[in-house]
Amino acid sequence: MAPELLSVENIDVKYGDVQVVWDCSLNVRQGEVVALFGGNGAGKTSTLRAISRLVDLAGGRIAFAGQDVGQLQAHELPNLGLIHVPEGRHVFPQMSVRENLELGSYAPRVRKRRQELMKAVFELFPVLKERQTSQAGVLSGGQQQMLAIGRGLMADPKLLMLDEPSLGLAPAIVATLFDTIRKIKDLGVTVLLVEQNVWEALEIADRFYLIASGRIVSSDVPEKLRQDEDFRQVYLGL
């Protein structure tokens, strides 16, 4: 069995006095694609934000590559290889595609490898190479999502966390996106994926966690969720 890369133990997350995640535990082993499913407001994004230190923990522990990261600041995590591509793309629209990608390689451990990493991203996303001098704001939604993921890959992640990467994209682009995530896994990058496109995600995931009302209610291999009608209807509305 592959070594554990991420360990989330019994974390609680609050926004002010409002608690949104309770006693959440999950783990991701090196080389896996692990999917985190749940309905709107279930706590998926808040869990990722806690892991990447964008929100403080109200309780629990997070370890990455054997190191307790619960007290680190968000800007310290990329140098460890933990990268979060948030929902909504968040590219810098007035900057060029190339400049956006370069921002992904600011961590000290990867700065000297910027050109090598850029070449790898362009091989994965040829359209970004073609449009590298274009402003990011004029790209299509699918191309902006490729740019957001490419920027994350510029940090040479050990773990890439993707929050709703297919949101708002046309079906043909979604299929291409999930094929790209397979290729990213083949490159040796471990992936933690939050995704509403459950069936597509199940095709690439090694394991899944199901979260409802801020609590992990199930975890298993994809085949379990395909067969469990109660979970699909109650927690995913499928």
**In this predicted model, which residue has the larger pLDDT, 172 or 32?**
32
pLDDT tens column, 166-220: 998 888 889 999 999 999 999 999 999 999 888 889 999 999 999 999 999 988 8
Which pLDDT score, from 0 to 100, does residue 230 have? 67
**Does 130 reside within a domain?**
no
CB atoms closer than 10 angstroms to residue 92: 14
User: What pLDDT, on a 0 to 100 scale, did the predictor assign at position 206?
Assistant: 95
Q: Where in the sequence is the domain holding 217, given as residue range(s)? A: 1-81+159-166+189-238
DSSP string, 178-190: HHHHHHHHHTT-E
pLDDT at 228 exceeding the cut of 90: no
Helix 141-153 to helix 114-124 angle (10° resolution) is: 140
Contacts of 207 (CB under 8 A, 6+ apart): 32, 34, 35, 219, 220, 221, 222
Domain count, the chain: 1
Q: Is residue 88 part of a domain?
A: no
Domain assignment present for residue 212? The answer is yes
Confidence of residue 102 (pLDDT cuts 50, 70, 90): very high
Q: For the domain that residue 223 is a member of, what is the CATH number?
A: 3.40.50.300
149 inside domain: no
Residue 198 has a pLDDT of: 86
